[in-house]
Amino acid sequence: MDYYVVDVFTDRCFSGNPAGVCPLASWLPDETLQSIAMENNLSETAFFVDRGEHYELRWFTPKLEVDLCGHATMASAYVLYNILNARQDKLEFHTQSGILIVERGDNDLLWLDFPSRPGVAAQKYKSLEKAFGFDCFEVYKAADILVVVDNEDAVRSIHPDFNALKGAKEDAEMPDDSFGVIVTAPGNDCDFVSRFFAPNAGINEDHVTGRAHCVLTPYWSKRIGKTSLTAMQLSKRGGRLWCRDEGERVKIGGKSALYLSGEITI
């Protein structure tokens, strides 16, 4: 089985978010897909099958399957365009979150076309106060939990208690373990910054998170009155994103770099 690792939302290796990509001729058993993702031990491994006019796409963390993943979708598109020589202007992926489109843009950008996931105001869950050690924040609930703090330094300095953070699932009545907790603030050199924590999904902190920007883009677009925004995710590896609010959809742009190509033997 061919296997690739692509660093996404960056223009160089060893930054951005690495995703595993496995093109398949046909679907393997779910247990095998999960075992491969666990063995890869990346935040997500993407698997896709070519159906001619479109691709079926799924994503697995080391612990479970998730319903939406941005960086592994972009990594899959990178492999299709740059290694497998896909000729389509737009790649169509059929997923648990519906049809997702990726297209090439200027300056080596790939653009994700994803569903917008605006949050609704929620309470300050006790689990979040305990996990972060402070209560100066606002909370919004969508497919993920959005926590808004005052400034970039506050986002950078967070060291969560991940056991406490797991309690947000019960407090916020999240339906499964695939949700994450996004922390965001205005950026010093961009429109907004963020970090993303998903301990329930087996990922304490994700490096750069496309799906989080389905929540972040509508929030910041409304707050600052712009439809085109720039963003940074402040993980140790870090990453840069370009975002556009298009109503029911969001466009998320980024660059990618190939780190590894190889073969999995099973």
Whole-structure pTM value: 0.94
Looking at CATH, the fold of the domain delimited by 120-249 is given as Diaminopimelate Epimerase; Chain A, domain 1 (3.10.310)
**pLDDT, tens only, 197-218:** 999 999 999 999 999 999 999 9
**pLDDT, tens only, 20-40:** 999 999 999 999 999 999 999
Catalytic (active-site) positions: 44
The residues of the chain that CATH labels 3.10.310.10 are 2-114+253-263, 120-249
DSSP the chain: -EEEEEEESSSSTTSSEEEEEEEESSPPPHHHHHHHHHHHTSS-EEEEEE-SSSEEEEEE-SS-EES--HHHHHHHHHHHHHTS----SEEEEEETTEEEEEEE-GGG-EEEEEE----EEE---HHHHHHHT----EEEESSSEEEE-S-HHHHHT----HHHHHTHHHHTT-SSTT--EEEEEE-SSSSEEEEEEEGGGTEEEESS-TTHHHHHHHHHHHHHT-SEEEEEE-SSS-EEEEEEEETTEEEEEE-EEEEEEEE---
Looking at CATH, the fold of the domain delimited by 2-114+253-263 is given as Diaminopimelate Epimerase; Chain A, domain 1 (3.10.310)
Q: Looking at residue 27, what is its pLDDT?
A: 98
Give me the mean pLDDT over the 48-67 stretch.
97
Q: Looking at residue 266, what is its pLDDT?
A: 86
pLDDT bin (cut points 50, 70, 90) of residue 136 is very high
**pLDDT, tens only, 218-242:** 999 999 999 999 999 999 999 999 9
